[in-house]
A and B are shown apart, each in its own frame.
Chain A
Amino acid sequence: MGMSAAAQFHVLAVDDSLIDRMLIERLLKTSSFHVTTVDSAIKALQYLGMVEDKLKGYETPEIHQESNSLKDIPVVIMSSENVPSRINRCLEDGAEEFFLKPVQQSDVNKLKPHLLKSRSKEEEETQPINNNKRKQESSAPFNKNSYKIKI
């Protein structure tokens, strides 16, 4: 296929419904995204390295916000509930888009412009790359060009 790591965007999809995870994964893969799915917000934070990996059930996770790059990850919310006040609140709190479930191909098509925008913003940055990012790029499939989808 010849797709370079730089060209492929990685999406982290979060949904507690297995059926919806299967659907969103197929939808995204059809659009050539690299996809990781998790079934909870905690697992999403663990995947992003923002909380400790091994948490016991009763422990409250502490969120580490060391890596600046993580807070630049665009977030899209998906929900089956069409509640305008809630949707507006999500958008005001920083979500890029809101998708009403069931998510359609046309929704997924809206993602790339956001990702291309954030990628070109990065390329403008002249800050030196920190060790954190270098480590991420060599070990995990995760790269900075991630899009997190939440329920």
Chain B
Amino acid sequence: MEVGQMQRQWIDYTRSLFIEGFLDAQFLQLEQLQDDNNPDFVVEVVSLFFQDSHKLLNDLTVALDQKSVDFKMVDAHVHQLKGSSSSIGAQRVKNCCIAFRNLCEEQNIDGCLKCLHQVKQECCLVKNKLETLFRLEQQIMAAGGSIPLMELSF
């Protein structure tokens, strides 16, 4: 596949991620912070997010599995996940966390368990999407091309 084709593929894929709500404008902010002096910034921050979220999701699983659930602690974990997902522009994960916090406030265990399942799914989905995106970027760079500038105009 030649570079122009790959770049168009990248544009279409990126656009779909925004349209489907996986990413929001904050992700574009991240991309704008990347430059020649910090060429791996986005990948680094995103990787960090997935390491972080993996741990948080494990902690949440354990916390919700207790005989007497400590909702304050559950809420603290969800708050952290909400914050980090918001910071990288992972919109669907963030929205899940917002719903999750409401359920914590209601001390609704079943609701929380359902939400936890959903958050795990959303994290998995966005992780796969971003990995695909980064792979596309690597292919473009390897072929000597550059990543197109993305603007949200739709």
Which chain A residues have a beta carbon within 8 Å of chain B's beta carbons?
Answer: 17-20, 22-23, 26-27, 30, 80, 101-102, 104-105
Q: Let me know if B20 is at the binding interface, CB within 8 A.
A: no
Q: Which residues of B contact A30 (CB under 8 A)?
A: 33
Return the contact of B86 from the options A18, A26, A102 (Cβ within 8 A). Answer: A102
Return the contact of A101 from the options B30, B80, B87 (Cβ within 8 A). Answer: B87
Q: Across the A-B interface, how many residue pairs have beta carbons closer than 8 Å?
A: 43
CA gap between A72 and B45 in the complex, in Å: 33
Q: Which residues of B contact A17 (CB under 8 A)?
A: 80, 83-84, 87
Q: Which residues of B contact A19 (CB under 8 A)?
A: 45, 48-49, 52, 84, 87-88
> Dominant SS at the A interface?
helix
Q: Let me know if B18 is at the binding interface, CB within 8 A.
A: no
Return the contact of B29 from the options A20, A22, A102 (Cβ within 8 A). Answer: A102
CA gap between A26 and B45 in the complex, in Å: 11
Q: Which residues of A contact B83 (CB under 8 A)?
A: 17, 20, 80, 101
A15 to chain B, nearest CB (A): 10
16 inter-chain pairs at a CB distance below 8 angstroms, sorted by A residue, are A17-B87, A18-B48, A18-B52, A19-B48, A19-B88, A20-B87, A22-B45, A23-B30, A23-B33, A23-B45, A23-B87, A26-B33, A30-B33, A101-B86, A102-B26, A104-B29
Q: Which of B38, B44, B45, B49 has the most CB of A within 10 A?
A: B45
Q: Let me know if B77 is at the binding interface, CB within 8 A.
A: no
Nearest B-chain residue to A26, judged by Cβ: B33
A79 to chain B, nearest CB (A): 9
